[in-house]
Each structure stands twice: as C-alpha cells, then as structure tokens.
Amino acid sequence: MRSDGHIRLLPIHVANKIAAGEVVERPASVLKELLENSLDAGATRIDVTVTAGGRNLVSVRDNGCGMGREDALLSLERQATSKIRDVDDIEHIGTLGFRGEAIPSIAAVSRFTLTTRRAGDEAGTRIVVNAGTLADVADCGAPPGTCVEVRDLFCNVPARRKFLRAYATEESHVRSVLTVHALAHPDIGFSLTLDGREVYRFAPGATLEERIRDIFGAAFAESLLPVSSGEDRASGIRIHGYMERPGTSTSFRHEQFTFVNGRPATAPAISYALREACPHSRTETRPSAILFIDLPPSQVDVNVHPAKREVRFRKAADVRESLISAISSALQTPGGNTPQPPAPTERKASPFVAPFTSQLPLQESPVPAPSIPVASTPHDVSTATTDAVPEQNGEPQPSTAMWRWFNVLAETATGYLLIETDDGIVTLNPRAARERIAYENILVRKQSVSQPLLIPETIRLAPADSTRLRGFLEELSATGFVLDEFGQDVWKLDAVPQLATGVSAPDLIASIVSDIAESGTRRGVSRWRDELVARSIAKAYAGANVKLTREGAVQLVKELMATRQPYICPSGKPIMIYTSNRELSRKFTN
C-alpha cells in the first residue's frame, strides 16, 4: 500500500501491537519477561507451565510480594513501573525489568490473565485482558504471589503467529530461557512443565555448582575449572563462575553463558575477552563457560536493547581486562577444581609406566609386569627407565600437576600418547605439548633480540593507524622493532624481533595496529607479542617428527605439567583430550 504523504497518529491498538513486536518475539520472550518480573518481586519459587510450545499457554506462578488491585491495574499501563522514579534512576538500574513495557505488550497480543495477592491482603485480584481490551477485574482467592497466564499468543496478529516455528523449536527456546535464568539464580527454585509433563525441577537454595550439575549433569560439572577474581577496588568489578577445561571429552554442546549483575546479557567487550582468553583453531569449538560479572550498576547501561539482551559498559576496557585475567588465571592453575582422590594403592604396571604423585619424585614401578602392546611405530618405548623430577638449584621441585599420578601406556601409530591418570584417560599430542613447553620457556627468558632486515621495509598506514602506532613506539622498540616515521603516515622498518624472522613485515605491523585498536593500550602489547611468539613456535615445529623414547615421553609429560597452561598449545589447539572415569563408565553402561 502506497503512502499518501500525510502524517497521522496511529490508533492505540495499532501502536500497542507494534510496541509488542519489540518485546514479544516468540513464547520464549514472553517467558523471559515474566520470569524477570517474578525475580524482581522477590520470589523464591517459580513454576512455569507451557503447552504447544507456548502458542496455547505460557503460565508463570511465583511466591513473590504480589500486588494490590491498584498496582495490578497500573501494571497494564505503558511506562508504568515500580523499578524507577525519575531519569537519574536509569543510571543505577539494579533490577531485571524496569521499562514497564512487558505486561501491556504481552496483554495486547494474547488472552491474558493476571492473578495476584499480597501476603497481608484478605483477597487477591484477578484481571482478564483479551487482545489488549480489559474484560474483567474481580476479587478472588489466591496464594500470596502472582500468577500470569498468557493464552493464544498473537491471537489478533495472525501474520506474527504464522511465523512461529514448530512446537519442538519453540519448546527448545522455552527450555533455554528457563535454563539461563536457573543458572543466573541458583538460590531460586524453578520448575518447568511442558504439555503436562514436568521436565525440570530445581530445588531452591542451591549453589552454582549444584545448579550446573542439576542442569547439565555430573560429567559436565566435573569438567569445569573455577574462575574467580576478587573485587577490584578501583573499578568494583568481580568475576566468578566456571569454564570447561579445554580438551575435555564431554557430550555437552559448547555454550558460553555470561551474566551481568545477575542479568543474562552480553556486550562486545565480553565477546572479545572470551575470544582472547579462550583461543581455538577454526576446527575446534570454544570451551563452555558460565561466568558472572558483578560491578556497580552505575558502570553499566542496560537500556541499549529492547529485549535487554545486550548491555554497554562505562569502562569496557576494565571489564575486558578483568575477564581475560580471571580466565587466564583459571587456565594457568593446573587441575583447577579437579577433586583429589585417595593416594593410589600398589598396583601392577607395565614397563612403560611411571607413577606420579604430588609429594614424591617419579620412580620406576616396583612391580614388574608384561609389556602393554604398542602400535607399530619406529620409536623404542619398551625398555627405557623413568627419570626423577627435574631439579632447580639442586633441589627437587614440588609437582603442580593436574593428576596425582600418571601412567604413559603407549604411543599410537599416529604419534599420540595414551596416558592413564588417577581419575581418567588422556590422549596427548606430543607436538602440541612441545610447542607449549617451548613457548613458555621463551616467554620466561623474555627474548626480544632484534633481527635487522636486509632491505628496510616502508609501510604506509591510514592516519588513524599511524596515530595508534605513535603511541606504542616505546613498547615496540623494547620488543625488538626498529621503526621510524619516514613521512606523513609512512613508516620505515629496519629490524624486527628475532622471533618474527620470516613473517611478512607489512602484515605484522598491520596485525599489531589492528590489535591495538581492538584491545586498547592495556592489553595490546602483551597480546600481539604472545601471538607473535606463538606463530614463530608453530612454524618452527610444523612438520616436526621427533622420535619419542620411553624416557622422553615421561619427561615430556612432566615438563608439560609444569607449564602454566598445559591444556592449549600457543596456536589455540588442544594439547590433550581428557575423559574422566565417570564418563567412560557412563558410555559403556548406557
């Protein structure tokens, strides 16, 4: 239909339907808004009932504070909210819902019933709204709290209703919304009933670890490393939660849940920090993460997305740095929260076996036993002996390994090591392990020797990139670059760090500038230097075919256990794939 060019005020029912489209996308978005209202009402128990994927019914019942009749009626008006009073309150949002748009938007496109009672009132209030039209208001008997029933969603907007997906698809979105809120609030009890069948019931008063176990199972919970940082006094930021140990073999599909002040949300700074702290190759999935970011409400703007899925930080660099630091610390802590089993008892072992404990040096197994068959390989792994734990300054160093002991069982024909540990089986890539060991040795030695170029390179940059580079000349010089401004936005490169020999100089500078722009001054130098070292090592080890002896295999594992990040090689690929004994038992018994 063509416009005649005249401007008109839309009828209120049309405006309401349009506004509803910003908040109500599908049944799961209805559930999200209702759950947030229940949580803000102080509920400790929330029961959800859904039929036909939410097309026919989405019901949320809570035991929160409830409302009187006047407040219940006001909740149906647009811009009516109990969460803020004036414009200044928008800068200090401490609740999940605050706009006053959800209830009227939902009621405008459904057959809506609100039943509520405050604990001190003799009677409750029931309000019925049919497609935006108030149909009935009456007293009723009801327990303290609120129950909202949303029936026949989009009953008056058939174009929107026909775009809903199959029942199973909409149901999966409903499950996802409930799961996310149950993770965000483990202290709250939740239940979900789908088409008369209860599929979730989470007890109130749980810890985050217990809630993760309830939702995703024990195998996934055991694969997690704790992530924690104390509250930063300057910024007020605190990070806590869990992330999946890289290389863990679980059936869980990899997802990363982030919560900002209890709100499921994300932001560019969060996405960048997760990419930075959890490197991976293109063929590998990122480890799962369940992370909470707590900071003063004045430091985060939650009013940037109609459905409140995205937030904006006042000081995004501080959040980014805190996240990267917390995750990196978790990855650098061998074992994380891996439970420590009792000390191993005496057991039979093959000659290619070396018990490893956190108190005693590695020793030859005292009990002889037949050799474990090894796949066809040119490496001799059947007669070597084990070495003692490496010494430093003449003193044995205590182990910081992830396992209390390990047995190197065999080397496969494809070059992987099979390792038995006190709580599972590990498949280890020796080449990736050597990369990690060499990478950390180089960083510890702080090698930054310059390598002069045979022919100096001239590099032209965009004005903004030149400005960024000027602010980093001191740091670049300290790491081995000899770089001078040769003209307006033209630079002459006379030398590069020795580790960067063979890397295209223009590409290298372009990568550095891009990284400075993306990560800021606090993170830029360390990130590109780490990646530079990683690239150099990966190139040096590409195609390497080091022959492993028995002593070499054991020593390699021991040296890897002494690194800060034994799970991931510098290029982001897993060094090992771990399968717990529990997971093995589950796979063989199911």
> What is the CATH classification number for the domain harbouring 179?
3.30.565.10
Of 331, 363, 389, the residue at which a domain comes to its end is 331
Q: How many domains does the chain have?
A: 3
Reduce the DSSP state of residue 548 to 3 states and report it.
coil
Report strand pairing: 189-194 vs 45-51. parallel
Mark which of 314, 331, 348 sits at the end of a domain: 331
pLDDT digits (tens, 9 = 90+) for 254-286: 578 999 998 888 888 888 888 877 765 444 556
CB 576 within 8 Å of CB 247? yes
Distance between CA atoms of residues 303 and 83, nearest Å: 13
Give a yes or no: residue 583 inside a domain.
no
Residue 459 and residue 317 share a domain: no
Using CA atoms, how far apart are residues 69 and 115, in angstroms rounded to an integer?
Answer: 10
pLDDT of residue 414: 84
Same domain, 73 and 184: yes
| Inside any domain, residue 299 | yes
- Domain boundary residue, one of 518, 541, 564: 541
Residue 483 lies in a domain: yes
Please tell me the distance from the alpha carbon of residue 26 to that of residue 21, in angstroms, as a whole number: 9
Same domain, 45 and 180: yes
Domain that holds residue 480: 443-541
Where the chain has pLDDT below 70, the residues are 1-22, 79-101, 247-254, 279-286, 303-308, 333-401, 442-448, 499-503, 515-516, 518-546, 590
Angle between helices 268-277 and 316-331 (to 10 degrees): 30
Phi-psi group of 349: left, alpha or beta (phi > 0 → left; psi -120 to 50 → alpha; rest → beta): beta
The C-alpha atoms of residue 296 and residue 238 are separated, in whole angstroms, by 10
With CA atoms as reference, report the closest residue to 149 among 30, 16, 37, 40: 30
* 169 and 187 together in one domain: yes
User: Is residue 358 a part of any domain in this protein?
Assistant: no
Structure token digits, residue 381: 């792994």
- Written as one letter, the residue type at 579 is T
Task: Say if 562 falls within a structural domain.
Answer: no
pTM confidence score: 0.62
Q: 156 and 189: one domain?
A: yes
pLDDT for 87: 45
Looking up residue 229, the CATH number of its domain turns out to be 3.30.230.10
CB-based contacts of 103, cutoff 8 Å, min separation 6: 33, 37, 75, 76, 114, 148
Same domain, 309 and 186: no
Q: Strand (E) positions, 163-280?
A: 189-194, 197-202, 224-229, 238-244, 256-260, 263-264
Reported as a single tens digit per residue, the pLDDT across 309-337 is: 788 888 888 898 899 889 888 887 554 43
User: Can you list the positions of beta strands (E) in 52-155?
Assistant: 57-62, 111-117, 124-130, 133-140, 145-151
Query: 252, 245, 211, 213: which is closest to 227 by C-alpha?
Result: 245
Q: Is residue 56 part of a domain?
A: yes
Residue 390 lies in a domain: no
pLDDT (0 to 100) of residue 500? 65
Together in a domain, 170 and 301: no
Would 38 be classed as within a structural domain?
A: yes
Do 462 and 510 belong together in one domain? yes
Task: Examine the domain organization and report whether 157 and 22 are in the same domain.
Answer: yes
- CATH number for the domain including 455? 3.30.1370.100
Looking at the fold, whether 239 and 155 belong to one and the same domain comes out as no
- 60 and 198 part of one domain: yes
Residues 186 and 275 in one domain: no
Q: What angle do CA 137, 139, 140 make, to 5 degrees?
A: 120
